[in-house]
Amino acid sequence: MKVRDKIQKKIIATFLGFGLGILFAFIYSSIESSSIKVLFKAIAGVCFAYAFILSNFFIKCPRCSGSLSYSHMKGQSKTNFYPTCGVSLDEKV
Ligand SMILES: [Zn+2]
């Protein structure tokens, strides 16, 4: 598995968590019953927290353990190496 593939899997997991957060927030806003509403609010909060924490703290460079958060990798289709340590994104992990 290449570094690029590993990063893409974590980015997909981040978007999945964010999407689920939006889904549960939408369900939360459309439900009338207040007892179940709290549950969906909590689930949406957990999903958003998961996406935020994963994207900022768990996408790391295999060489220097520096953060490879989504904000660094937005143009990843054009990037071939990580700018701070120079690890190739096509290097095998
Ligand atoms: Zn690095």
Average pLDDT over residues 28-39: 88
Instruction: List pLDDT tens digits, range 59-78.
Output: 888 788 887 765 555 555 56
Domain borders along the chain are 1-93
* End-to-end Cα separation, the chain, in angstroms: 6
Residue 38 has pLDDT above 80, yes or no: yes
**The pLDDT of residue 87:** 85
pLDDT of residue 57: 85
| 33 Cα–ligand 1 center, Å | 49
Count of other CB atoms within 10 angstroms of residue 12: 10
**Cα-based angle 37, 54, 65 (whole degrees, multiple of 5):** 165
Residue 61 CA to ligand 1 center (angstroms) comes to 4
- The pLDDT tens digits for 7-31 are 888 889 999 999 999 999 999 999 8
Distance 50 CA to ligand 1 centre (A): 23
